[in-house]
Structure 1
Amino acid sequence: MELLSPAGSWEALVAAVQNGADAVYLGFGGFNARRTAGNFDGDEFERAVEYCHARGVRVHVTLNTLVKQRELDGFAQAALDAARAGADAAIVQDLGGAQLLRALCPGLKLHMSTQAACCNAQGVRFAAAQGYDRVVLARECSLDEIARCAKVGVEIETFVHGALCVCFSGQCLFSSLVGGRSGNRGLCAQPCRLGYALCDAATGRERARGCLLSPRDIMLVEELPALERAGVRSLKIEGRLKRPEYVAEVTRVYRRALDMLAEHPEKFAPDAGDERALRQIFNRGGFSQAYLDGHFRDCDITDITRPNNMGVRVGKVKSVGGGRLRLKLDMPLDAGDQLSLRSDSDETGFELKQALPAGNAELPMPSGLKLAGGLIGAQVYRAASQVQLERARRSCEGEHVLTRVEVRARLRVGERAQLTLSAAPDAPADIRDISVHCVGDAVSPARRAPLEPTAVEERLARFGGTPLEAADVQVELDAQAFMPVAALNALRRDATQRFIEAVLERRRGCPAPPEVRGLPALPAVVARDAAARRARPLLVVQSRALADAELGDALYWAPAHVDRVSLEHEFAARGPGMIYLRLPNMLGSAELTEIAAFACDHGAELKGCVLTNVSQLGLELPGELVADMNMNAWNSRTVELLRAQGVRRVTGSLELTCAELSEMDLRGLERELIVYGRAELMTLRHCPLNASGGLAHVDCRLCDAGKGLESCELVDRKQAHFPLRRYRGASGCYAQVLNSAPHDLLSRLARLPEFDAARLVFTVEAASERRQLAQRARTALEAWARGEASAMPSPSGATAGHYFRGVD
């Protein structure tokens, strides 16, 4: 299995390489999902690729943000530049951008980013059909799901350590719509790390408080054998925003574990000291194993007490007095350690100026040390270990990843000096046949002291500052031979440079793509017949309630229970109307198979299906296909891909402005806009209510009893109220956080780009409110069709999203 480490800066890249990474992933240009990391541009990127390839490490470049229509040229140029620099693979979120990259850089391996939210085998099959070489699975996948995905035949990459997004990646709009910084554009403001109150929606009674959306980091070092059996190809460490010492320590630990697994699989047991090192370098209230076990406990996913580094508990405060601080320590501490003293409501910290032994220890009272509730009894945590940080820094100094070479020199009087460097038999297999031969200055007879064999061998073996190491040195040397030291050094440097150049050429990630002028043309499509357009846009209602079909021209049915028995029972009671089945945006393989089979069996009664995830592309589904906003159609290349998959209508993203929507060529498809509704800010695999109560996931039935998540809402520090919803599959519930304010454009239809369908999304509205909104929408659409402006003002508290303001 490949060990893939983060490189958010040059220092982090060196840390990853020198501590045993097989590959690194790094940001290039402005199209990566960590735009606030150091990242790499131009010459530095080329230097990074050369540094890695010279040491046998592959480079995966992240081009994993969504791409607007006007940015396609820049995205294409970034991909071409990365390929020309010799990158090994590109990690891509944007579906259209991936197709563009495949056309321009056919030799560059294409990896589907976790931002594409591929969470099941159907999604992996779609990726394979589209030419992806690897899929980075959603972090919510269970071990069984990972194994199903690996059987498809495409390489599978999974995260094994680091921060865990609480929302399915690529499906989060919280930071964008609430904070104005889009995670899909690499600028997530992490509202998930803030504190919230979980309150009863009807009474306002507080049921829990804390960092309810802040997940623990994951640590899967003990699960490496299981991941290997499941068929995982690459193990990914999260952390492009982490410091180099973190990258060094985590890479070192997983390198040791992987080497142990390879050498003694039957005795595999991670070192306890290594696990302590992982906790010390960074943890958020301990670690979780994410969702690897499908029967996880929700409370294991999050630690609601704090969103940042917990450190490691090392003792407690016994007493204070006489200018002294007396501690009871579980372990010895070192000078330079960063300590944190914590009570139930406060914490304070200081740097330790002296080493302390385990047991009873005391030190001078640090200046200004205060703690609400008093210092006595406070818990002592070590937030940073000076010894660990120094060890990590030392690991990045010098060269620890070396290629052994055999050195052969011929120094005969009257001949030009000759030097050959050949890869040693124990060199990496991909370069084992490399050998370079160099000729230097002439060897002259010695006038005084001839060359000493030992001194020549020692000088020719000096490869300091390079990734080479002499395995064996043999020199043919005449007894009276002489050559200036400078000339001998120059010969060695020339041979070294040529050997490294040969290695770099061998390890070049892909052939340099040809020069191109302009983007590849899209295939011709039949233009839509203007005469065939509707007199007014279609009024679509999205709702759980099948009875709401009477409120609009069509209903997008979004059932709360998506198991086959529940679907059949509910659908049997439907009334008249044009009904589309809206598929949930996140489902496991078995759940998706079940709901797709239901749709096919009822193809005669369904008008079509609404697609919300890449895994639903390529499925056999009945009727008309509509791409929901979750499909992230941000440019005409993505629209063309959707058209080729049978989609008839595309829903505009809530993150694009009217101008940006208008720039897209819809490739003959219809455009749908959401003109009312609370946006789905997050889709969660765990339940915040269960997490706060310590409950298990799959066995919960609180919502069915009317006492669960849907009776609650999250309240933030500004007193904004975010309703909670869920849908339930065979593996349990998926929770959804809705926006605190409804999206309402009914009074601004004339300012929107041309559209063919207008959607009302009903979630928490009562039946009477739904009827009123539907009538208001019908009136507004009829006025719009007559070319009249709506006289109805938007209700107070509503938002227009980014249609008129844009987002970073």
Structure 2
Amino acid sequence: MAHKAEILAPCGSFETLEAALRSGCDAVYLGGEKFSARQNAANFTDEQLKEAVRLCHLRGVKVYQAINTVVFDEQLEECKKAVKFAAEIGVDGLITQDLTLVKICRECCPDLEYHASTQMTIHSESGVKMAKNLGFSRAVLSRELPEHTIKDLTNLGIETEVFVHGALCMSVSGQCYMSALIGSRSANRGLCAQACRLPAQGDKITKGQERYALSLKDMSYVDKLQRLEKDGVSSLKIEGRMKRPEYVAAAVNCCKNSLENKPYDLKALEAVFSRGGFTDGYYNGRLGREMFGTRQKEDVSATARILPELHELYRRCEKRTKAFFTIKLQESSQAELSLRDSEGNTVTVYGDIPQKALKKACDSDYVKKQLSKLGDTIYEFGGLEAAIGKDLAYPASALNDLRRQAVEKLDQKRIDFFTHTADFTDKSLADFSALPKAYERKKIRIMLSKLSQLEGVDLDNVELVGVPIEIASEAAKIVSDKSKLMIIMPRFTFDEKALCEKLSAAKEAGITKMLAMNIGHCLIANDLGFELHSGYSFNLCNSAALDEVKKLGAKDCTVSFELKASQIEKLKKPIEIGFVAYGRLPLMLTANCPIRNDMGCKNCKGKLFDRTGREFTVRCPKGRDCAEILNSDILYLADKLDDFDNADYMELHFYEENAHRINEIIKAYHGERGAKPENATNGLYYRGVL
């Protein structure tokens, strides 16, 4: 049987769910009232989730629940209850980014499938393989990937899911902290404020002449779905849990027709929502200005005009299966009606005893006319086998009643057939020995950006020196004690083979430590024999997730800087932990350089300006695959270290600082005064995120 990709529809409300189902999707994804990365969607109560599973399974449609925010320690038991409920009602799979869910599913309900969210930044062979090793049955791939990479990743023994239509984030998913750092609305917690849709440009903004250097058009691969299916992609995902029912219906309809090689109306899809049209730049590997766009007045007007037309797409129920009837109408016996669907589910109902005909006797045509009135149900009349005795009458109302009974009974049988619950055994998530608080002076690790920063830095009071992979081999020539060097892995790369070649060269130069920045790096570290440390981009926010990283082989880990200091203090530690204590925190990681696309490299000042006049440093992508947008303020905690007694080490991140300034900062974190920058911030360690 040829491989068939599913069309996966977004459902942010019950009305949208009905539109998706009536339009013919193969699967839906939705969120409960908590732990959903779209907290501003209507989402589903527990009762609505149960009903959603029932309605979907009636149609043979799968239901994936997004429990895909990071989880704090104080929420672990509540999160476990959410998973238990999903298992009990027959949800077909969970979508998650927090390694805690891996632990819950593996230990409490091993029969429940779980999918690796795009928030896990899975974009390479090692990432997909590591997801498989962790027990994920599917990996939702990063949206930045070209076709040839998508194709390569579909042959690694795990299902792949690819976004094919909807909004594009400027940042690589899972690596955006802009909304959190600016307004405490964390994307990793499902409350992104979409700061990327506001004015931003490579020079100061003049009122009335704003540009939008962070706003991408919506993606659309509708014309490429057959190729993606042929490449082996398992699920074709439509973005849009915040969108209206008409949008979802139009997207499902276009995708379905595209896969079936039927005409589809892309103009209608563009009219219901777009930002000046669509882009397929990532798929084709053509990045640049044509990928950028904003929502215009014309787009809004087009939406208002098209909505009534699109409502017709889901006014009638999508026929999902054939209904095959067998009826027996015999003298002196109860009427017997059997109904079978295309999947082989069969039910039988009984009615009154037929009477002798006073006028016209019933025949198969008469019976067929009544039984084929399937109206707004999922069934299409497939045929009738009739055994009807001679000169018998049976009222149309009685036949209709038999049909209704049979349909209701078959509905339930189909729901039971497609619903697979999973047993849940409650187990502790903190069944490990915890390390004591550090209390004593914390170890200092410095993270450098440039080779020139190494010359003149006093390394005597530094435990480790992190250097980017691009300069690692050269750094090994400068630092005599190679045991102090650690390679900082890139958070995203398009060429993992080249990356591994650089790693091998660095190891030959004497570097044996690696700071992993995504789960794929854990596999690479093991294969190449590096000592593994895990970085802040793992977004580790609770004790159970720390334990999972330890099982991946990490010697220690840097917790998320979206945690409050008080939350870090309460973490139960299976391994040593650290925190980012200094530097320009990252706001975005972007495959599209915002300045290059806004004004060209020639005019680049290395800064991005927002509408308030704030300047954000942009780390040039030259020599790496992504640009980084860094915070306008500098994190400084040298005077707050007593609030981090539970941490064993701290990371100091340096971008533009020279060796002299780096030495000043190191001394400040050893207790000396006088190095605090003017634009200092405490980050999120005291205000936290929502």
Using structure 2 for the length normalisation, give the TM-score.
0.91
Q: Is the Cα–Cα contact under 8 Å of residues 444 and 463 in structure 2 kept in the other structure?
A: yes
- Name the structure 1 match of 2:377: 466
Question: Which of residues 477, 482, 490 is equivalent to 1:572?
Answer: 477
Question: Which of residues 358, 382, 393 is equivalent to 2:311?
Answer: 393
Where do 1:25-104 residues align within 5 Å? 25-104=29-108
- Name the structure 2 match of 1:787: none
Instruction: State the distance in 1 between where 2:40 and 2:163 align.
Output: 21
Matching of residue 689 in structure 1 with residue 583 in structure 2: no
Instruction: State the distance in 2 between where 1:478 and 1:39 align.
Output: 54
Instruction: State the distance in 2 between where 1:226 and 1:420 align.
Output: 42
Q: CA deviation at 1:148?
A: 2.4
- Name the structure 2 match of 1:504: 415
Q: Is the Cα–Cα contact under 8 Å of residues 282 and 310 in structure 1 kept in the other structure?
A: no
Where do 1:225-624 residues align within 5 Å? 225-260=226-261, 271=263, 274-294=265-285, 296-303=286-293, 307-309=294-296, 311=298, 339=301, 383-384=302-303, 386=305, 388-423=306-341, 427=342, 431=343, 433-445=344-356, 454-479=365-390, 481=392, 487-508=398-419, 510=420, 512-519=421-428, 522=431, 524-525=432-433, 528=435, 535-544=440-449, 545-547=453-455, 550-551=458-459, 552-559=461-468, 562-563=469-470, 567-576=472-481, 578-588=484-494, 589-602=496-509, 605-606=510-511, 608-619=513-524, 620=526, 621-622=528-529, 624=531
Q: Is the Cα–Cα contact under 8 Å of residues 658 and 753 in structure 1 kept in the other structure?
A: no
Instruction: State the distance in 1 between where 2:622 and 2:159 align.
Output: 30
Pick 1 or 2: higher relative contact order, CA cutoff 8 A, min separation 6.
2
Q: Is the Cα–Cα contact under 8 Å of residues 556 and 582 in structure 1 kept in the other structure?
A: no
Q: CA deviation at 1:36?
A: 0.9
Structure 1 residues 500 and 617, CA gap change in structure 2 (3 angstroms): same
Instruction: State the distance in 2 between where 1:402 and 1:416 align.
Output: 31
Cα RMSD for the two superposed structures: 2.8
Q: Is the Cα–Cα contact under 8 Å of residues 317 and 378 in structure 2 kept in the other structure?
A: yes
Q: CA deviation at 1:442?
A: 3.6
Instruction: State the distance in 2 between where 1:521 and 1:800 align.
Output: 30
Partner secondary structure for residue 292 of structure 1 = helix
Partner secondary structure for residue 473 of structure 1 = strand
Partner secondary structure for residue 626 of structure 2 = strand
Matching of residue 775 in structure 1 with residue 682 in structure 2: no
Structure 1 residues 758 and 205, CA gap change in structure 2 (3 angstroms): farther
Gaps of 5+ in 2: none
- Name the structure 1 match of 2:632: 740
Q: Is the Cα–Cα contact under 8 Å of residues 32 and 186 in structure 1 kept in the other structure?
A: yes
Q: Which amino acid aligns with 2:503?
A: A
Partner secondary structure for residue 24 of structure 1 = strand
Q: CA deviation at 1:301?
A: 2.4
- Name the structure 1 match of 2:544: 637
Q: CA deviation at 1:555?
A: 3.9
Q: Is the Cα–Cα contact under 8 Å of residues 747 and 793 in structure 1 kept in the other structure?
A: no
Q: Which amino acid aligns with 1:802?
A: L
Instruction: State the distance in 1 between where 2:359 and 2:287 align.
Output: 82
Partner secondary structure for residue 159 of structure 1 = strand
Partner secondary structure for residue 675 of structure 1 = strand
CA offsets 1:748-775 (integer angstroms, 9 cap, x no match): 1112242211221111234433222121
Larger deviation: 718-727 or 135-144?
718-727
Q: Is the Cα–Cα contact under 8 Å of residues 201 and 598 in structure 2 kept in the other structure?
A: no
Q: Is the Cα–Cα contact under 8 Å of residues 599 and 622 in structure 1 kept in the other structure?
A: no
Matching of residue 148 in structure 1 with residue 135 in structure 2: no
Q: CA deviation at 1:103?
A: 2.9
Q: Is the Cα–Cα contact under 8 Å of residues 23 and 252 in structure 2 kept in the other structure?
A: yes
- Name the structure 2 match of 1:724: 618
Instruction: State the distance in 2 between where 1:792 and 1:102 align.
Output: 50
Q: Is the Cα–Cα contact under 8 Å of residues 199 and 712 in structure 1 kept in the other structure?
A: no
Instruction: State the distance in 1 between where 2:517 and 2:160 align.
Output: 22
Q: CA deviation at 1:713?
A: 1.0
CA offsets 1:551-602 (integer angstroms, 9 cap, x no match): 541343333xx45xx5434543445572111111111322432333234334
Instruction: State the distance in 2 between where 1:219 and 1:162 align.
Output: 7
Matching of residue 756 in structure 1 with residue 648 in structure 2: yes
Structure 1 residues 664 and 534, CA gap change in structure 2 (3 angstroms): closer
Q: CA deviation at 1:446?
A: 6.1
Q: CA deviation at 1:311?
A: 4.2
Partner secondary structure for residue 347 of structure 2 = strand
Structure 1 residues 46 and 609, CA gap change in structure 2 (3 angstroms): same
- Name the structure 2 match of 1:162: 166
Matching of residue 10 in structure 1 with residue 14 in structure 2: yes
Partner secondary structure for residue 662 of structure 1 = helix
Instruction: State the distance in 1 between where 2:409 and 2:67 align.
Output: 32
Q: CA deviation at 1:608?
A: 1.6
Instruction: State the distance in 1 between where 2:33 and 2:683 align.
Output: 27
Structure 1 residues 676 and 521, CA gap change in structure 2 (3 angstroms): closer
- Name the structure 2 match of 1:132: 136
Q: Is the Cα–Cα contact under 8 Å of residues 456 and 660 in structure 2 kept in the other structure?
A: no
Matching of residue 646 in structure 1 with residue 553 in structure 2: yes
Q: CA deviation at 1:726?
A: 3.1
Q: Is the Cα–Cα contact under 8 Å of residues 457 and 474 in structure 1 kept in the other structure?
A: no
CA offsets 1:124-177 (integer angstroms, 9 cap, x no match): 010111111110111111222222222212111111111111111011110001
Q: CA deviation at 1:743?
A: 1.2
Q: CA deviation at 1:37?
A: 1.1
Q: CA deviation at 1:728?
A: 4.2
Q: Is the Cα–Cα contact under 8 Å of residues 9 and 25 in structure 2 kept in the other structure?
A: yes
Partner secondary structure for residue 680 of structure 2 = coil
Instruction: State the distance in 2 between where 1:220 and 1:139 align.
Output: 11
Q: CA deviation at 1:723?
A: 0.8
Q: Is the Cα–Cα contact under 8 Å of residues 549 and 576 in structure 1 kept in the other structure?
A: no
Q: Is the Cα–Cα contact under 8 Å of residues 467 and 485 in structure 2 kept in the other structure?
A: no
Q: Which amino acid aligns with 1:725?
A: R
Q: Which amino acid aligns with 1:287?
A: F
Structure 1 residues 246 and 743, CA gap change in structure 2 (3 angstroms): same
- Name the structure 2 match of 1:347: none
Q: CA deviation at 1:18?
A: 2.2
Partner secondary structure for residue 664 of structure 2 = helix
Where do 1:789-808 residues align within 5 Å? 796-808=678-690
Q: Which amino acid aligns with 2:250?
A: E
Gaps of 5+ in 1: 261-269, 313-337, 340-382, 696-701, 781-790
Question: Which of residues 192, 196, 212 is equivalent to 2:196?
Answer: 192
Structure 1 residues 460 and 148, CA gap change in structure 2 (3 angstroms): closer
Instruction: State the distance in 2 between where 1:657 and 1:212 align.
Output: 31
Q: CA deviation at 1:55?
A: 1.9
Instruction: State the distance in 1 between where 2:674 and 2:640 align.
Output: 9
Partner secondary structure for residue 532 of structure 2 = strand
Q: Count residues in correspondence.
A: 677
Instruction: State the distance in 2 between where 1:299 and 1:147 align.
Output: 26
Instruction: State the distance in 2 between where 1:293 and 1:598 align.
Output: 31
Instruction: State the distance in 2 between where 1:148 and 1:708 align.
Output: 38
Q: Is the Cα–Cα contact under 8 Å of residues 139 and 290 in structure 1 kept in the other structure?
A: no
CA offsets 1:736-757 (integer angstroms, 9 cap, x no match): 0111111111111112242211
Larger Cα-atom Rg: 1
